[in-house]
Amino acid sequence: MLWVRTATLATARPLNNFNWKVAFFVTESPSSEPLLSEMLKVHLPFVTGFLKTSDGFCNLEAEDLDKIAGICTIVSFTPEQYLMRRGEMGDIMYVLTEGQVRVVIPDDSGGDPSTLLLGTGDIVGEMALLTDGKRRADVIACTDVSALAMHKKHVFRLLYRHPPLASFLTRILVKRIQSIDGFRQIGKYRLLGELGLGCTARVYEGIHVHLERPVAIKMLNHALMYDDLFRERFQSEARIIAKLQHPNVIQVYDTEHSHGTLFIVMEKLLGRDLKKQLQQISRFSPEKVVPILRQVCEALLYAHQEGILHRDVKLANCFMTEDGQIKLMDFGLSRPLGTQERMSVEGSPDYLAPEVIRGKTPDERSDIYALGIMAFALLTGILPFNAKNVREVLVNQIQKPIPDIREFVPAIPGNLIDFIQGTLVKDPDQRLSDWPTIFSLLNLRKRSKVGPGATRATGHQSIVLTCPETSVPALQEALRELSTKIEGLTWSDPRS
């Protein structure tokens, strides 16, 4: 049997002063949701203006709101009429434009249901866009209600054409997580609270329901789920890190695909990243920097040996736990070593190696250059090639000489000077890049004997200088002066 339900159609007036006209459309049953008909399309500027006031959409640009408004229809409900019923399959989301509804949420344990009142600007039925499951609650009109309706198939069609628009799904999901009836379950894990927010993902605290193991859960922004490149990158990060088993690399336990996006489940760390640490204390002493660099070196060496290039080494991607352990994280830009396809220049401008800026394929030496930038920043509190805009930063990376770190840290040990000057050489062929020498400068491993003609890196030669003990300070000073004239000249004191 077919049922006829009345709905209302708005004329071109401001949304807070609609002139309603009666329209009719056919549904399959009294409780089913209204079909979206072209006859119910409303004038875009008014819908756009209303969406701008709704929490799920307020951050979108005007032209993006116009696109979303183009798939909306206006529907209305009378008091006590169901907008949706628990147990039904849902494929429509509503943004309330007028009136009030009550959301009746059953108690899974058999107790009394809870009731939530929602009104103008609130969103109901949003899980229809995020899952393929059944409705979890009844939504009933308390008064005459009007709403913007968005059909799932129309929304998805729009988002695949314009991926950035999908950010509204993330805002809606985050709001739902925070709500009183918000979902808390992601596969085998329960969400406990938000830990952090980045450009591409949010990180939540969670716990494995059965093992009671605390975890961190990284949720990809929905806008990137509709971008094939970023979606694959996020999945690639999970696969890459899951293979890495090292005390200085963050551990990935699991992945989940839920609520329209991807989640990476990782070990939960107590502490903060080095960027936040540096903001708190302004600079680290050389004695504290050396063990930090040692641990990052161990992580990078291990990753390189496993055939993985990180490509985004920076302070914010190195986490220091409360006991001082460093964890290298965020492998979102990582690639297998030897990848030759043309790629856009990616990474953080302040840490990009000159050859990468020029469009050459990055390799291990690019990671080591970024490590040198990190070392300079940790010791001085500033980035060596900082500028007022990204373009100037990139030009500085290519052209500007390495600042003399002794101007900022007069008492800096010679081995750290050598490390920074060697890792920040512009030409990758002349850059300090062999791990034995790097570890030697950081006193990580026993120094091996170096003889004339021993090669440190492509294009490098090592020589041995001997002099009386009393002349060592003068020799070191002479070498420092010489290093300002010969790019790539490094040395170390075997007594250190």
Encoding tokens for residue 346? 């990616």
Burial class (CB in 10 A: 0-12, 13-18, 19+), 63: exposed
* Nearest partner of 396 among 425, 367, 429, 354, judged by Cα: 354
Show the tokens assigned to 57: 């959409």
For residue 163 the two structure tokens come to: 């991926």
Catalytic residue among 64, 122, 273, 312: 312
Residue with tokens 């989301």: 93
d(CA 271, CA 279): 14
Non-local (6+) Cβ contacts of 178 within 8 A are: none
Region of residue 443 (phi > 0: left; psi between -120 and 50: alpha; otherwise: beta): left
Residues with Cβ within 8 Å of 446's Cβ and at least 6 positions away in sequence, in order, are: none
Residue pair 27/2 in contact (Cβ under 8 Å)? The answer is: yes
Q: Is 312 a catalytic residue?
A: yes
**Separation CA 239–CA 203 (nearest Å):** 18
Please check whether residue 456 is in contact with residue 430, taking contact to mean a CB–CB distance below 8 angstroms. Answer: no
DSSP character string of 30-60: TTSPPP--GGG---HHHHHHHHTTSTTTTTS
Residue 466 exposed, middle or buried by CB count within 10 Å (0-12, 13-18, 19+): exposed
Q: Are 462 and 400 in contact (CB under 8 A)?
A: no
What's the rounded Cα separation, in Å, for the pair 159 and 222?
A: 10
Q: Which one-letter DSSP state was computed for residue 112?
A: P
Give percent helix, percent strand, percent coil of the chain, each to the nearest 5: 35, 25, 40
What residue type is assigned to position 438 of the chain? I
Q: Return the residue matching tokens 């609650």.
A: 137
The residue written with tokens 């922004």 in the block is 221
**Which spans in 226-363 are helix H?**
228-243, 274-281, 286-305, 354-357
Helix/strand number for the chain, H first, E second = 15, 21
Task: Report the catalytic residues.
Answer: 312
